[in-house]
Amino acid sequence: MKKWIFLLIFVIFQIIIIFNTPLVSWDESVYLGMGKFIYSNGTVGLFESFRPTMLPLLSGMGWKLGLNTVTFGRSLALIFSVANLVAFYFVSKQFFKKRMAMLASLLLAIMPTYFIYTTQVFTGIIASFFVLLAFYFYLKRKYYWMSVFAGIATITRFPAGMFFVLFLIFMIVKKEKLAVLTKSILCFLVFISPYFIINYLFGNGLLSPVLSALIHQNNYVFQQDFGFYIKEMIMQALFLIFTLPGIYYVIKNKKWDLLLLFLVPLIYFTYIVNKQARFMNLFLPFVILVAVYGFYELLKNLKKSKVNTFALLAFLLISMILSISVIVNDLKLDTSIEEFKIDFEGTILTTDPIFSAYNDNKFLPLYFDISSGNNALNFFEDDAELIIYSDVYPCEVYENSLECEQLKNKLEKNIFAKKLVKETIHYKFFK
């Protein structure tokens, strides 16, 4: 059990973070609001049809049980993060001995993006856990369970579906029987069906949510340069330089599955417009797996030279210390939630979903983009008894910025014509 002491330290720090960061971010509040919406049958919370439904189904249970929504959601995130580290250890053991597998798990734990988002209510780490389980059962040739967990991963975070496609390709290369492939696909489809069923029941149709999700990946608000993820990984962990020899050795040893599970998601997330550091958490275990593979092979080849071995281990230690320093520098504690607590009963049209995490009202989104914002105001104006407004439309990031500004002026004119009942630093409340 001594080998897991780092995991205990990890959990202790994360629990401290949970109780010192009650303020959730934009996307976290959406998932928490969706959980309320599902379990209240649409009378409380909010709903975004293009979001995967697994996390809301899990987080909403806390609200249904009468627990603090944010604390439950963050505790749930921590449980999955710890489970992900354990799952990664067992996957790594399929390629390395125990010590190297433990090193891989430790490196994932202190990766700044992983550590900081461990207790935040996002889908990346949870989906990564299910992907790792799917990969583990793929390696064991237990394809039924592979399909089950790949399906759950996909309705947790849609891009996780690419891993199931890769597993199928690997199975075809291995010349698995057609019956096995067919059963795997059917099983996968069964386990992604809840997403379509929930959207259909709430009147969003079967295909339109999927199309909306495809459009959302081109959100220009989070546009970054082409090499964003490469730079992020190296800045956060110098150790990931070992992915270069890792790629060489996985090709040399014909570990094609490792190579593709690392490269395909990296290429996909590099290609789409919407780039955020937290997106790496979905495929980060495979990046680290390739890096550890490179480190392991170099260590074996240099074991006759004590100087070179010492230099390699020293670099590893320095890299780990630098990763921890990045965590300390980037970790932000924020406790200001009073602005988001409101004393109001009724349906609310809002430009910020964070209110849905702290209040049991029904919220209608007024924030996707300026065009849909105007449409939402026209469509829901009679249903909403309160409008919460803040400028969440960054027109400068769009090519048609002039048209955006005109639409924003139109929206504000219609909203500001109503009675202003409250104003804070960031928000205006209208009836």
Torsion, Cα of 94, 97, 99, 103 (10° steps): -40
- C-alpha separations of 417 from 73, 372, 388, 431 in Å: 38, 19, 14, 10
pLDDT digits (tens, 9 = 90+) for 288-323: 999 999 999 988 887 766 666 777 778 778 888 888
Residue 64, token pair as written in the block: 């249904």
What pLDDT was estimated at residue 375? 81
Structure confidence by residue, pLDDT tens digits, 104-158: 999 999 999 999 999 999 999 999 999 999 999 999 999 999 999 999 999 999 9
What is the predicted pLDDT for the residue at 381? 78
Residues 6+ apart with CB under 8 A from 339: 424, 425, 426, 427
pLDDT category at 87 given cuts 50, 70, 90 is very high
In this predicted model, what pLDDT tens digit does every residue of 12-29 receive, in sequence order?
A: 989 998 888 888 998 999
- In the block, tokens 């919407």 appear at 274
pLDDT at 107: 93
The reported pTM is: 0.92
Helix, strand, or coil (residue 311): helix
Tokens of 261: 């599970």
Neighbour tally for 413: CB within 10 Å: 9
Average pLDDT on 86-110 reads 94
Look at residue 371 in the predicted model and tell me its pLDDT.
78
Whether 279 has a pLDDT exceeding 70, the answer reads yes
Answer yes or no: is pLDDT of 99 > 80.
yes
Residue owning tokens 């409008």:
387
Residues 366, 430: Cα–Cα separation, whole Å: 14
- Could you give the CA distance from residue 108 to residue 123 in angstroms, rounded to a whole number? 17
Of 367, 382, 385, 370, which Cα lies nearest the Cα of 421?
385
Rounded Cα gap, residues 268 and 124, in angstroms: 15
The residue that leads in pLDDT, 188 or 324, is: 188
Q: Give the pLDDT mean for 345-367.
A: 92
Sequence letter at residue 84: N
Name the least confident of 75-79, 312-316, 342-346: 312-316
What whole-number distance in Å separates Cα of residue 127 and Cα of residue 161? 10
Separation of first and last alpha carbons in the chain: 59
Shortest CA distance to 79 belongs to which of 129, 26, 38, 34? 129
Q: Give strand ranges (E) for 176-263.
A: none
Least confident residue range of 87-101, 269-283, 310-324, 409-423: 310-324
Distance CA 117, CA 205 (A): 32
Q: How confident is the model at residue 357 (pLDDT cuts 50, 70, 90)?
A: very high
Q: What's the rounded Cα separation, in Å, for the pair 216 and 384? A: 25
DSSP 8-state assignment for residue 253? T
Question: If you average pLDDT over every residue of the chain, what do you get?
Answer: 89
Higher-pLDDT residue of 291, 379: 291
DSSP alpha helix (H) spans, 331-417: 355-358, 370-380, 401-416
Tokens 């583990």: give the residue. 136
Of residues 285 and 23, the one with the higher pLDDT is 285
Q: pLDDT band for position 102 (50/70/90)?
A: very high
At 59 the three-state DSSP class reads: helix
Confidence of residue 182 (pLDDT cuts 50, 70, 90): very high
